Amino acid sequence: MVEATQQFYSLSAGNVHRSQFAEAQRLTARYEAAREKVAQLLNAPDDKTIVWTRGTTESINMVAQCYGGPRLQPGDEIIVSVAEHHANLVPWLMVAQQTGAKVVKLPLNAQRLPDVDLLPELITPRSRILALGQMSNVTGGCPDLARAITFAHSAGMVVMVDGAQGAVHFPADVQQLDIDFYAFSGHKLYGPTGIGVLYGKSELLEAMSPWLGGGKMVHEVSFDGFTTQSAPWKLEAGTPNVAGVIGLSAALEWLADYDINQAESWSRS
């Protein structure tokens, strides 16, 4: 990872999706190839479901503001487990304040895990979003995501999974689990800081309003208005963290040769 980042700054520093010279074109290809690696890691249906962010915190804020913000109405409910990191709580408190929605607590069970079995009792006709961590950053415990997602989807809810702690141990299979949104940070997988990932189902990403406005996210622009690119690029305005993406790509190549199942066994022993 360090070598890949150093080589980028030493030999090929440039921008992506803009310049026409040969090195910039090669860099753009590497940048998009890294997106494909993340898609493979999560078993995402295609790389257009992968959005580059600054980290898990920005990813969850993006979902809260760009998906939740325009849709939540006064009295709607966001269910959040009491085991969540601030990054999967504060964004929901913020959007609740902005929209008049309310945050509902999902308590812990005797095993100190989010009590997924209580969801049928907590879910009401006003429940809209479930925010749940894949793994606790305090105990390392993991809730039954599959069961939680089944309960939520049966009520028409959208599920945001915080994968910051879990991605390095057992990356979620987003198709098998039918996850709506999933986020993680590159440094948790031995990549650089300041680079993160948001996975979202294609139809959900396309339904999101842009997070920021600027270069790369626009398709056409004039003083009369603008149109945006399709997802994921409409959510990636401005010069991206190219070095971070290149470094994360190198870290994922290293992890591909690493026995994650063995690592999980060691961590639990």
Classified by CATH at the fold level, domain 2-264 comes out as: Aspartate Aminotransferase; domain 2 (3.40.640)
The pTM for the full model equals 0.94
Q: Quick one: what percent of the chain has pLDDT higher than 90?
A: 78
Q: Which residues contact 220 (CB under 8 A, 6 or more apart)?
A: 226, 227
Beta-bridge mates of residue 104:
79
Question: What backbone torsions phi and psi does residue 17 show, to the nearest 5 degrees?
Answer: 60, 25
For 43-66, write each residue's pLDDT tens digit: 999 999 999 999 999 999 999 999
> Contact at 8 Å (CB) between 120 and 151?
yes
Residue 216 is predicted with a pLDDT of 84
Integer Cα distance of 76 and 126 in angstroms? 5
Q: Work out the average pLDDT over 244-262.
A: 86
Q: Say yes or no to pLDDT of 67 above 90.
A: yes
Tokens 């948790």 map to which residue? 188
Q: Which residues contact 245 (CB under 8 A, 6 or more apart)?
A: 31, 34, 35, 52, 195
For 196-212, write each residue's pLDDT tens digit: 999 999 999 999 999 89
Beta-bridge mates of residue 226:
221
